[in-house]
Structures are given as structure tokens and as C-alpha cells.
Amino acid sequence: MKQIYITDANIFIDLYNLGIVKEFLSLECELCTTDFVMEELEPEQAAIFSGLKIYESSEEEIEKIVDLMDNHTGLSFEDCSVWYFADKTQGVLITSDGKLRKTAFNSGTDVRGILHLFEKMKDEELLSIEICIEKLELLKTVNVRSPKKLIDNLIDQFKNEL
């Protein structure tokens, strides 16, 4: 069975801005998100990612998502929706949101970020090492909140593989 990745909007936006959506969509995993995250995207972005499996929440699930949000200040409903479905499916939560990453991780959820996706795209030969390095350098400029030190560490790791 393929690994399930439940992805947050910030990841989609970064992938779109980096021009590597096609490679992301080719990963050997089940790529998913929630209907609420899709609503956060610009229409042209949402159209590109429309092939993903999209979890639509029942009334009961919405209540559970609201409970998560009520118990964890600083997280949006959309954040809690991807966290909820990552737990429900025993999938991996893919997000760059620091508060969501920390909170979900501390609750036992498997949480990864965009750097993990770069490693997977390289390992699956969807992106060359050179392109990974180029796009990681670009990530530091298109997302001012990106973890620059971790990006530099991954760039160094990739350079050592050349």
C-alpha cells in the first residue's frame, strides 16, 4: 500500500511558485488534501492540484476538527483539517507551518515538510540533484519564512552526492 501524504496549502503554494508541481504529482505515494485546503488556494492553483484525492468532511468530522482547533490555539480550521485526516488515515502530514508541525508532531502524528519532498523527488529521480539545489536556493527567496539553515544543510548534502 502506498504511503498517504496529507498536504497543507503552504506546501502547494511553494511547489507552484517553484515550478515543480508536475514532479510532486508524480511521487510514488497517495497525495491527498482536504476540501478546506483546496478552498484556500487561488483558482489556478486549485485547478493544477485538482487531481489529488480530496477528503470532504462529514458533519461529525467537522465537529472533531473544530474540537482540535478549540484545544490548540493558533491553528486554523484548515490546519486542523489536514492534521485530523493525517491521523485518521495514519498518513504523513506535509506542512511548512511551524505551529502545526510542532503541535501535530507532539501528538504523535508523522509530520514532514517540503525538504522531505525534495529528498523524495531526488530519490525517485523526478528531479536531478542540480535542479534540487537550484529550486532549494529559489525556495529561500520565494518563501521568506522557509527554514534557511535546514535548506542550506540539504543543499550541502546534495552537493556531496554530486
Tens of pLDDT along 100-133? 999 999 999 999 999 999 999 999 999 999 999 9
Residue at 23 is within a domain: yes
Looking at residue 1, its pLDDT comes to: 75
Q: Which of 158, 29, 7, 2 is nearest to 94 (CA)?
A: 7
> pLDDT tier at 51 (50, 70, 90 boundaries)?
confident
Mean pLDDT of the 15-38 span: 96
Examine the domain organization and report whether 37 and 90 are in the same domain: yes
Examine the domain organization and report whether 57 and 136 are in the same domain: no
Examine the domain organization and report whether 144 and 108 are in the same domain: no
Residue at 119 is within a domain: no
Domain extent, residue 151, equals 125-161
Examine the domain organization and report whether 79 and 156 are in the same domain: no
Mean pLDDT of the 8-28 span: 96
Looking at residue 123, its pLDDT comes to: 98
Which phi and psi (to 5°) does residue 89 adopt?
-95, 0
Examine the domain organization and report whether 92 and 146 are in the same domain: no
DSSP strand pairing (110-112 vs 30-34): unpaired
Which phi and psi (to 5°) does residue 30 adopt?
-90, 110
Examine the domain organization and report whether 106 and 152 are in the same domain: no
Examine the domain organization and report whether 62 and 30 are in the same domain: yes
Q: Can you give the pTM of this predicted structure?
A: 0.94
